[in-house]
Amino acid sequence: MKSISFLSILSLLALTLPLVIGSDPSPLQDFCIGVNTPVNGVFVNGKFCKDPKLATADDFFFSGLHNARAVNNAVGSNVTAVNVNNLPGLNTLGISLVRIDYGVNGQNPPHTHPRATEILVVQQGTLFVGFVSSNGDGNRLFTKTLNKGDVFVFPEGLIHFQANVGRSPAVAFAALSSQNPGVVTIANTVFGSNPPINPNVLARAFQLDPKVVIDLQNKF
């Protein structure tokens, strides 16, 4: 019985360990201000830390998210990120924020965040949102139409999207569970890689004529 209990504990640890190491580590101090040079710093969690005694309120401050952003691009949206790269006080805290502006018929196209779960709230307009589960779950599509004040969660690493289905511009804010969540936009990554992926590889993967693939690559 003891050996069975010991094996059960080992199995539980094996299951939970990837969850622990797959998320941002907990801070080792009250805060760790991100700096871009190693002078008088210690390398922690991807950024050097400022001497805590030199921290100021400005290290924890970002202004301007109340301003609408231009959406004159191919997808009709604009994402303004607030992460450790422009708000250094986020270093080691495992959280960041984005504002997303959507033009009429605009979208935040299918993408993933390799290091973060995202929770989104609509401030203005109507959005059609969704995510697709992994292969092992059968690639199920989960969607919802959101209005002002509605909230939706996109699990870490899964492909997700938002589209403005209203008759006016829309705005949403989202929090992400990483100081630097990263983003992989599916179309740009697959068809706009540098150097390009061999068209024959993509043609077989997407069951398309290689000429169609080349045409898509030329767009990115």
Which residues neighbour 32 within 8 Å (Cβ) at sequence distance 6 or greater? 44, 45, 47, 49, 50, 52, 91, 92
Domain formed by 8-182, architecture: Sandwich (2.60)
Other beta carbons less than 10 A from residue 10's beta carbon: 10
**β-pairing verdict for 47-49 and 34-35:** antiparallel
Ramachandran quadrant class, 199 (left: phi over 0; alpha: psi -120 to 50; beta: rest): alpha
Q: What's the rounded Cα separation, in Å, for the pair 49 and 34?
A: 5
The pLDDT-based confidence of 47 (bands split at 50, 70, 90) is: confident
Amino acid, res. 124: Q
Q: Where are the domains of the chain?
A: 8-182
> Averaged over 2-16, what is the pLDDT?
52
Q: What's the rounded Cα separation, in Å, for the pair 71 and 100?
A: 10
Q: What is the pLDDT of residue 22?
A: 52
Which residues neighbour 48 within 8 Å (Cβ) at sequence distance 6 or greater? 34, 35, 36, 37, 38, 41, 42
| pLDDT(168) > 70 | yes
| pLDDT(45) > 60 | no
| pLDDT(28) > 50 | no
Q: Which residues are annotated as a binding site for Mn(2+)?
A: 111, 113, 118, 160
Which residues neighbour 83 within 8 Å (Cβ) at sequence distance 6 or greater? 90, 96, 97, 179, 180, 181
Q: What's the rounded Cα separation, in Å, for the pair 135 and 148?
A: 32
Please tell me the pTM assigned to this model.
0.80
More confident position, 19 or 124: 124
Question: Among 121, 98, 105, which residue's Cα sits nearest to residue 73?
Answer: 105
Query: What pLDDT, in 10s, does the model give residues 82-98?
Result: 999 999 999 888 999 99
Q: Which residues are annotated as a binding site for oxalate?
A: 108, 113, 118
99, two tokens: 């504002």
212, two tokens: 């169609």
Q: Which residues are annotated as a binding site?
A: 108, 111, 113, 118, 160
* Vertex 23: Cα angle to 109 and 9 (nearest 5): 130
